Amino acid sequence: MADVPGFTEWMSFLEARHLADLTFQEVSRSLRALSSTYVERRSGLREGAALSGAGKRAAFALFYGPLHFLLVRHIVLAIPDVTRVEGVVDLGCGTGAAGAAWATSSSRAATVLGVDRHPWAAEEARETYRIFGLRGRARIEDLSKAVFPARSAVVAAFTVNELNDAARDRLLPRLLAHAEHGGRVLVVEPLAGFVAPWWARWRETIVGAGGRADEWRFRSELPAIVSKLDHAAGLDHRELTARSLWLDGVSGLSPRRTTRAGDRGSRC
């Protein structure tokens, strides 16, 4: 990813920032605990378990942030016309990785607005936007109440699965309405079905509205610290995977179709 201006600097910043007061071993132990939270103790995600403690925050920033950047960048470069954006709203922005990935892939000088309920995440996102040279800001706010500027591109990456059912049900019609008024919507989630049992309904609704659904599997060179943590924590991200929903209201809604891994555009 050295060809992405700011990416190398971002990784260096993350290492210096999050390994200043923690050892690599402490962060790798925290990554194992964080991974377990995502897989086995998901009920704690809504209470902020993923970012409870300096170790988990460091693991999230150093490991999952770069992975999310790589995944979202791959997706927006693979789907036709997705890079033509002027403003990105990143719902549940975390460290700002997804919004930065889309904005730095844009053929225009895109702005970024990050929205997250966690003050630490908002501050991390501001630093991410700064390092990538983006015109960006981050707000501490419930994402279900976030306002989408007209014709903006909204990304919710690895976020909707952490909402409760009521908040998720409120969000879907808002995203549909945003696309109907000329906006763009990209939802990204893990492939694992247990993470998002609601996915089939969202997929049917968005594809029925003229959008598309994709599954992604691709290999990418991981930053050195990410690869080292991956190995130390007993994980394996030599192949990156995700699934996405895309709805385009800017140039007219996309043809109704569903693609899966192996179809055109799903691999690099």
Task: Report mean pLDDT in 10-residue bins for the chain, 268 residues.
Answer: 84 97 95 78 48 87 96 95 91 96 89 95 96 95 88 95 91 95 96 86 96 96 96 93 93 45 38
In a domain, 22, yes or no: no
In a domain, 107, yes or no: yes
Q: Is the pTM of this model over 0.85?
A: yes
Q: For the chain, how many structural domains are there in total?
A: 1
DSSP string, 138-186: EEE--GGG----TT-EEEEES-GGGS-HHHHHHHHHHHHHHHHTT-EEE
What is the reported pLDDT for 249?
85
In a domain, 28, yes or no: no
In a domain, 149, yes or no: yes
What is the reported pLDDT for 229?
96
Look up the domain containing 198 and give its range.
69-258
| Secondary structure class of 190 (helix, strand, coil) | coil
In a domain, 217, yes or no: yes
What is the reported pLDDT for 207?
97
Those residues whose C-beta lies under 8 Å from the C-beta of residue 99, and which sit 6 or more positions away, are: 88, 89, 90, 93, 112, 113, 114, 125, 129, 136, 155
In a domain, 26, yes or no: no
